[in-house]
A and B are shown apart, each in its own frame.
Chain A
Amino acid sequence: MLETATANLPFAVRQYSAEQLREALRKMLLIRRFEEGAEDSYTRGLIHGTMHLSIGQEASAVGACMPLTDADKITSTHRGHGHCIAKGAEVARMFAEFFGKETGYCRGRGGSMHIADVTKGNLGANGIVAGGIPIAVGAALSAKRLKTGSVVLCFFGDGAGNEGAFHESLNMAAIWDLPVVFFCENNKYAMSTATERSTAVHNIAERAAAYAMPGITVDGNDFSAVAEASHVAVERARAGQGPSLIESVTYRWRGHSKSDRNRYRSKEEIESWVARDPIGRFAELLREQAILDAEGFKALEDAVEREIAAAIDFAKTSPAPDPLALTRDVYTERPA
């Protein structure tokens, strides 16, 4: 009787403790507020350049990273703030990076598009579409060759699936049985070009067949579905059974970057996806399962707000890099 009831529960509820689930929701909220804070700071002129927001995709980032340990690696994309937070980065050092400060993860040299926290296994966001895919496979080659037991999860977008690097990398990962999970966040548009106009297959996961690996398409706004797919693929990789391809179908509420005027999609379309808010859906699941009530959710939100405010303050008051140190880290400094 009890077994049947358990089997009907969503994967995440069966797999993770209440504490882990609350932490996952906290991270999703943290990503949302981080990006809203970054957007606000950009509008105020505190952040220059550009940024690519993943608001609406939080379940995808956090769900994908659920089965990973700090020893496992990820490679990320230009839309990588969520991945970075999901893998355990501190928002204060992220904001400091966006503000171009010496205390940032990249000492202010990388900015939003190169945000990384290698201490937590994040090998970095990447400004080149599909640039991180072969790097992830290389990291998986290291893991296999050096027998570290770790797994690499490679984030990329639907646009990257049409780059040669994607195809070359999946092929090599498959022929060498490498411990890597290819995690495609299909948010429907590569900048302005819809996947229907750019991609011959309906589901990007179908491309797994060409490289003799499992491929699955999941609802990327359903935390539990994403975590389950990632869990299965990570276990498979860790057991030495080779790579998998996961397609997480999601949607970015904001434009591609700060220059986007949303001419390629309708307000109605955007609203239909806002109605499928991954945070709202996950919070609802936790409420149904009596894991987090409305009061608990409010407390979580308040704590996140405070963390964001303190992080922005840290970034504002941090020192800027010294222009005289411009060429620092172009090469490794070695004792003469």
Chain B
Amino acid sequence: MSMPLRETPTEVRELSYAEAIRDGLAVAMERDERVILMGEDIGVYGGAFQVSGDLVQRFGEDRVVDTPISELGGAGIAVGAALTGLRPVYEFQFSDFATLAMEQIVNQAAKLRFMLGGAVSVPLVMRFPAGSGTGAAAQHSQSLEAWFGHVPGLKVCQAATPYDAKGLLLAALEDPDPVMLFEHKLLYKTKGPVPEGHYTVPIGQAHLCRRGGDVTIVATAVMVHRALAAADKLAEEGIEAEVIDLRTIRPLDRKTVVESVAKTSRLMVVYEGVKTLGIGAEVSAMIAESEAFDYLDAPIVRLGGAEAPIPYNPDLEKAAVPQEPDILEAARSLVRGRL
């Protein structure tokens, strides 16, 4: 059923984040006949964000399946297919539309293995174009990943780079359990090095992107890039920030974050989802409950989304989620003790 495996990546190219995911999908579909794609307008249209692109021409309509606009039914069909031998990758056109399918994701996909005492598994991958910054307003711009992170049985990832987007996708396709991949829409056109062929990025492992001794900035998705840009400016001021890209929010990589905070003594968490009861709360609590708590020299800082829906007006939209200057200012205050 599988093609001969090529485990060692050969050539490294510059690909966009969207191209990297498409590349990963193609690699998986070549290796494993059971992999099918499902979603709205993923066929000849190529997907709303051109992630599936030309895959329907390469693999045919039996494997790149355009669904009607039926998120609940479509998600449930993907669950049933995963339960019975296929490896579906279900694309939500926008992560917001997952609200229509929560029943199947939360009650079925996440719980079937447990409820049936381990008699089944649900090797399902779902992809969610997420986040604000595109002028699409309140129903097409949310960052709902923390919702899914609250559900035992699911794994939840947020790649920040093309390399990780492909590697996490291929890891998800080898995982026996349902994996939710949140892809920030502003990242789709960003470029980066991506090896050819098959490789994986381990689910549950954060990436230490930048070393520094003064403050730990834990970030996700597009916030990783904003944090890194802020860190460069902080360095000019003599502040060395350590930047950690969580990459997976369930399960969290406790070790990497705790070790970093024990070293820097300061923690800031930057994420786009609504600030309250989100990733920042979880990471903060994890540190408060850990051995790193004793090392803290200052209160923990959370920079998250506003307590409001994402607005349409571009200035308001920017103001609704952390931007690079916000990170810069907050980090400066945190390190210099001006909180």
Contacts and interface: CB of A to CB of B under 8 A. Distances in A.
B119 A169 contact: no
Contacts of B75: 134
A134 B77 contact: yes
Nearest to B38: A141
Contact of A165 (B36, B72, B121, B176): B72
Given A124-B115, A131-B103, A169 B36 contact: no
A281 interface: no
Given A116-B119, A329-B114, A138 B83 contact: yes
B107 A127 contact: yes
A105 B119 contact: yes
B82 interface: yes
On chain B, which size bracket covers the interface? 35 or more
Interface in A126-166: 126-128, 131, 133-143, 145-146, 148, 164-165
A124 B116 contact: yes
A188 interface: no
Nearest to B75: A134
B314 interface: no
A155 to B, nearest CB: 14
A136 B73 CA distance: 11
B79 interface: yes
A220 interface: no
On chain A, which size bracket covers the interface? 35 or more
Nearest to B88: A138
A134 B88 CA distance: 14
Contacts of A331: 113, 153, 155, 177
Interface string A59-80: 0000000000000010100000
Given A124-B112, A332-B176, A105 B117 contact: yes
Interface stretch (A48-56, A106-114, A290-298): A106-114
B72 A168 contact: yes
Nearest to B152: A330
Interface string B59-82: 000100001101011111111111
B217 to A, nearest CB: 29
B81 A139 contact: yes
Contacts of A133: 73, 76
A90 to B, nearest CB: 14
A300 interface: no
B108 A110 contact: no
Given A135-B108, A168-B72, 12 more contacts: A105-B116, A114-B115, A116-B119, A123-B84, A124-B112, A128-B108, A131-B76, A134-B104, A148-B85, A168-B73, A169-B73, A329-B114
